[in-house]
Chain A
Amino acid sequence: MPEKKKILEVKHLKQYFKNGRNVTKAVDDVSFDIYEGETFGLVGESGSGKTTTGRSILQLYKPTSGEVLFEGKDVAGLKSRTDKLAFTRDAQMIFQDPYASLNPRMTVEDIIAEGLDIHHLVKDKAERTERVEKLLETVGLNASHASRFPHEFSGGQRQRIGIARALAVEPKFIVADEPISALDVSIQAQVVNLMIELQKKRGLTYLFIAHDLSMVKFISDRIGVMHYGKLLEVGPADDVYDRPLHDYTKSLISAVPIPDPEIERTRKRIPYDAQKEEMDGKPRSMHEIRPGHFVRCSDDEVKHYEEVAASYEN
């Protein structure tokens, strides 16, 4: 993708949490780019740092070190209120838990319009209501729902409200943190289809964080795989899924249950031992093995990964 414009550049992002005398390296030297209009999927197990990465990008945490460039500007360096406001308008978030992320004491209209108020995007109450009703219809809810409270909605409907809230300020970039994990299978498909449709219509860019590999592969153009705070592999979705390089990625994919009994009967799990890489102490960084397909390895492992990549080509 040579012609595509980078909307987000994450450079050597580190996010450490102090915990008494211990330091948890939740995100440890992670770098990747997201191009305008694409969906970048971030997968990993719980505790891998994928959610922290998403939150650090939006400055919900103050990163320990590293840079996050949004449209070329370092968002950690934003000092003035106007600059910060401009960034929060451009970059929004959809949260995992549709039950915890909506204030139970606010009406749906107030929840969705909070961003409109903060950014002074509407001049009067009539326009505010009109905008909210339009947004509700956009996400497939009824305009008359505006005066209701969150508890009156099902999980899938609440997640639509969360999406409407994120869309209200017309962002360019949305971090969706496990937006469908809390939903039933038939409802998951509805929400994913809605997100895809909105992306097409509005040219949105997504960072889609999830642990469900098959859904991530479905929605993403490119995928990054995280483990223990480190990004181990990045590449086009099909390459990462069908031609994985890193042993951890292989292990993760081999563990995904497939709704097909014949495949399940013959499935072989590939175990992964993180110790091996932890212990040898070699410096590792991202190396491009195939065009656009990177893996985190030391200089002397490049040859091994070249061979792995070549083995898929026969």
Chain B
Amino acid sequence: MPEERILDVKNLKIDFHTYAGEVKAIRNVSFHLNKGETLAIVGESGSGKSVTTRSIIGLLARNAQIEGGEINFHGKNLLELPEKEMQKIRGNEISMIFQDPMTSLDPTMKIGQQIAEPLIKHKGASKKEAWAKALEMMKAVGIPNAEERINQYPHQFSGGMRQRIVIAIALICEPEILLADEPTTALDVTVQAEILDLMKDLQKRVKTSIIFITHDLGVVAGMADRVAVMYAGEFLEFGGVDEIFYDPQHPYTWGLINSMPTLNSDILESIPGTPPNLLDPPKGDPFAPRNKYAMRIDVERKPPFFKVTDTHYAATWLLAPGAPKVDPPAEIVRRWKKYDLMKQEDKLPKIK
């Protein structure tokens, strides 16, 4: 494929040491990020999506232990870089937006200073230059009265405005990779829509690649080029956004899509049970205990990734040659039909 991989994560394993024992939070995870794309990682809380992204930027909790794997960025393995080197990358080449705009800003610092700081630290800009650039950035993220507000403190801003400031800080060094961990979950839908539009717009201008973490499939549908579905510390399915939404293959992806109310649904399918305890992770497909389509092999052996297309892979034994045909939920069948129709009419956009 002609695409350029900007980030390549291979066989990542992360454990957390707790009083109860070793929590195997990330279990042999591999994925990559293409230049200029938005990769959405979806999954429930505790599935490991935040831990995965935090490991990229070296911000894991103290009790986390990286057991193996590599994260390759420009020929360097980020997991082996000394902290000093990591500091040069963090906030500069790779930056991050956190979920809660209320706690990710320093309450005692003027916001102008907070936006300008990365430029002074990383790019050696003078205070005056950095301040001017900060003002420009505030205008770019749509903060009205920027000249006046640059001297204000975080508590003088609403939640949506604070998240704009956080985005300004993250993007001021024009990073190659932006990690966005549920950046709109704490916001109202109308504000969320504005922030998402802003991110898409800035991505085009700054040409950054984004890893977007969320549990909201609606947001994924609007933001992502590719989607990775995560469950219990593993990826279960990768694909282009249309492949995941119209041609999903893993029963967990079916369950996720099916448990969202759609405009015409009159029953809501829920996924029974709860995710497995990662102190003692399941041997086979981690979703098998909650999966009504599970076969015996799902419990016994972990399925490999089966290829659906060049861009679409799913780890389910249902795709193995000779696997029994199952009837997926009605909503999924509807989406499959829509996908066939879209393919015939050539309405599918090309994947980057």
- Interface residues of chain A, those whose CB is within 8 Å of chain B, are 45-46, 154-157, 184-190, 192-193, 211, 213-215, 217-218, 241, 251-252, 254-265, 267, 269, 272
Contact = CB atoms under 8 A, between A and B. Distances in A.
Given A190-B272, A257-B218, A261-B245, A251 B261 contact: no
B45 A184 contact: yes
A214 B261 contact: yes
Given A184-B45, A186-B259, A262 B342 contact: yes
Given A190-B272, A258-B218, A185 B259 contact: yes
A188 B259 CA distance: 8
Contacts of A217: 261, 263
B341 to A, nearest CB: 11
B192 A255 contact: yes
Interface string B199-222: 000000000000000011111111
A250 to B, nearest CB: 11
A185 B221 contact: no
B273 to A, nearest CB: 9
Contact of B270 (A154, A186, A254): A186
B340 interface: no
B352 to A, nearest CB: 14
Contacts of B349: 265
B188 A46 contact: yes
Given A193-B270, A211-B188, A269-B197, 15 more contacts: A186-B255, A186-B270, A186-B271, A190-B272, A214-B261, A214-B262, A257-B196, A258-B221, A259-B218, A259-B262, A260-B221, A260-B245, A262-B242, A263-B221, A269-B193
A262 B349 CA distance: 10
A156 B290 CA distance: 15
A260 B242 CA distance: 8
Nearest to A216: B261
B190 A251 contact: yes
Contact size class for B? 35 or more
A213 B189 contact: yes
A154 B257 CA distance: 22
B259 A256 contact: no
Contacts of A257: 189, 192-193, 196, 216, 218-219, 221-222
B18 interface: no
Contacts of A213: 189
Residue with the greatest number of chain B CB neighbours at <10 A, chosen from A254, A259, A264: A259
A213 B192 CA distance: 14
B326 interface: no
A308 B186 CA distance: 33
B241 interface: yes
Contacts of A272: 190
B86 interface: no
B256 interface: yes
Contacts of B196: 257
Q: Rank and list the top 6 A-B pairs by shortest CB-CB distance, nearest first.
A: A257-B218, A189-B270, A264-B222, A218-B261, A189-B259, A259-B217
B330 interface: no
Contacts of B245: 259-261
Interface in B264-319: 265, 268-272, 274
Nearest to B184: A257
Interface of B: 44-45, 159, 188-193, 196-197, 215-222, 241-242, 245-246, 255-257, 259-263, 265, 268-272, 274, 342, 347, 349
Contacts of B197: 269
A252 B260 CA distance: 18
Residue with the greatest number of chain B CB neighbours at <10 A, chosen from A154, A185, A211, A252: A185
Nearest to B193: A255
26 contacts: A46-B188, A157-B274, A184-B44, A186-B270, A186-B271, A189-B271, A190-B270, A190-B271, A214-B262, A214-B263, A218-B265, A218-B268, A251-B190, A255-B192, A257-B216, A259-B218, A259-B221, A259-B245, A261-B221, A261-B222, A263-B221, A264-B218, A264-B221, A265-B222, A265-B349, A267-B222
Given A186-B270, A214-B260, A256 B45 contact: no
Contacts of B190: 45, 251-252, 255, 272
Contact of A252 (B189, B219, B270, B274): B189
B302 to A, nearest CB: 21
Contacts of A263: 221
A55 B215 CA distance: 29
B94 to A, nearest CB: 26
Contacts of B347: 262
Nearest to A194: B270
A155 B265 CA distance: 25
Contacts of B218: 214, 256-259, 264
B274 to A, nearest CB: 6
Given A46-B188, A186-B256, A255-B192, A261 B217 contact: no
Contacts of B215: 184-185
A261 B220 CA distance: 8
Contacts of B219: 257
B193 A261 contact: no
A215 B246 CA distance: 21
Contacts of B188: 45-46, 211
Contacts of B242: 261-262
A256 B261 CA distance: 12
Contacts of A251: 190
B44 A259 contact: no
A156 B2 CA distance: 45
A272 B241 CA distance: 30
Nearest to B265: A218
A155 B275 CA distance: 12
B155 to A, nearest CB: 15
A255 B221 CA distance: 13
B349 to A, nearest CB: 8
